[in-house]
Amino acid sequence: MTSQTTLLTPRSPTSSAYAYFSLGMLLAASLDGVRSGQRVPADHWRTVKLLVTGGAGYIGGVVAAKLAEAGHAVTVLDDLSTGHADAVPAGTTFLPGSLRDDAKAALGNDTDAILHFAAHSLVGESVGNPAKYWSNNLGGTLALLDAMLQTGTRKIVFSSTAAVYGEPESVPITETAPTRPTSPYGASKLAVDTTLAEYARMHGLGAVSLRYFNVAGAYQAASGQWLGERHDTETHLIPTVLQRGMTGKAIQIFGTDYPTPDGTCVRDYIHVADLADAHLLALGACEAGRHRVYNLGNGTGFSNREVVDACRSVTGLDIPAEEAPRRAGDPAVLVASSALIRVELGWHAARDLRDMIDDAWRFTQARSAQ
């Protein structure tokens, strides 16, 4: 274990995320003492050592930044297949590499926990190329779990997806809803969730899976660095609307005849910074031998038309919209229930749709100014 000790002061004493994570740090300190056979001074919390896989990507990057800002030693492992080297947050150690070949070296023998984001995540692509998803998402995770067992890392927080539920029978979707993924992407994530439950049972790992739908917004790290969505081919609604807004092109609204109040699909949006806080809470909730699953969302859906209107209002731009046919595979309404994580871990979404669009817009403008 690292000999470095740090007195960590929660940045926001009112944030339950930090309260929970402090508990995790204390546990790490006492575990350290047990392993080394020495007493850990009660007033010393050593730096928690964490591995963030996929930390050069959108969500992993924001989580890595927040963990580093909280004073933890963060290593980012990312093969840059979809991430960007310049999106790795300042204050972390970047190790370019793959789960299969480099996880063991990245963990060393003193990593306390993993936050696992590295995965392919395009539903449409997964339908056309399922092998890519099974190999990378499940195969890569199995390699990571092997490396955990070999190195003694005992905790893992997994970025799963609400796509594991498939077409919902009712909304909001709870954790007990049937899991019937409709894409290889969702199926590969569900297989990882199942694997984590087995590894927790068999090997005593502490694991938490977080399942969520539409993530939006951006995060400006304490270093000033903006972290946000940077897909080579952007398909998500909010960044697409904002990009169209910048270029004056029309946004196509896919489907206007759904059984919803305004005929367009309804989705559950969550701010990437709120999602990051949930990951910090989940880390504190990893318990040996247990696999927990939590859904995340803002509890309220927004229709595609409402999102476009909100983008117009935030940017002040008259973004034109045109009606287009339905996009294959789009369910009418996807909204998750966050009741369980609210009750058990005290998480809540602190940011609303306007905050998400506002931050995504700042990020878009910051990038276009580069």
Tell me which residues touch ligand UDP (CB under 6 A): 214, 235-237, 240, 251-254, 265, 267, 304, 327, 330
Task: In whole angstroms, give the CA distance from residue 278 to residue 137.
Answer: 22
Task: In whole angstroms, give the CA distance from residue 198 to residue 114.
Answer: 17
Structure tokens belonging to residue 5: 């000790």
Q: Give the SS3 label for residue 328.
A: coil
Q: Least distance (Å) from ligand UDP to the CB of residue 182?
A: 12
Between 20 and 213, CB nearer to ligand UDP: 213
Q: Least distance (Å) from ligand UDP to the CB of residue 308?
A: 8
Between 327 and 354, CB nearer to ligand UDP: 327
Between 28 and 164, CB nearer to ligand UDP: 164
For 286, half-sphere exposure in the C-beta direction (CA atoms, 13 angstrom radius) is: 29
Q: State the catalytic residue, choosing from 165, 185, 199, 269.
A: 185
- Please state the separation of Cα 25 from the chain's center in Å: 21
Q: Least distance (Å) from ligand UDP to the CB of residue 212?
A: 10
**Which residue's beta carbon is nearest to the bound ligand UDP?**
265
Between 129 and 240, CB nearer to ligand UDP: 240
Q: Least distance (Å) from ligand UDP to the CB of residue 265?
A: 3
Strands 266-271 and 251-254: unpaired
One-letter amino acid for residue 276 of the chain = A
In eight-state DSSP terms, residue 167 is S
Q: Least distance (Å) from ligand UDP to the CB of residue 317?
A: 16
| Cis bond upstream, residue 184 (ω within 30) | no
- State yes or no: is 185 an active-site residue: yes
Between 17 and 173, CB nearer to ligand UDP: 173
Query: Where do we find the tokens 């060393």?
Result: 108
Pick left, alpha or beta for residue 367 (phi over 0 → left; psi -120 to 50 → alpha; otherwise beta): alpha
Alpha helices in 233-370 (DSSP H): 237-247, 272-284, 304-315, 339-345, 353-368
Beta bridge partners of 336: 173
Catalytic residues: 185
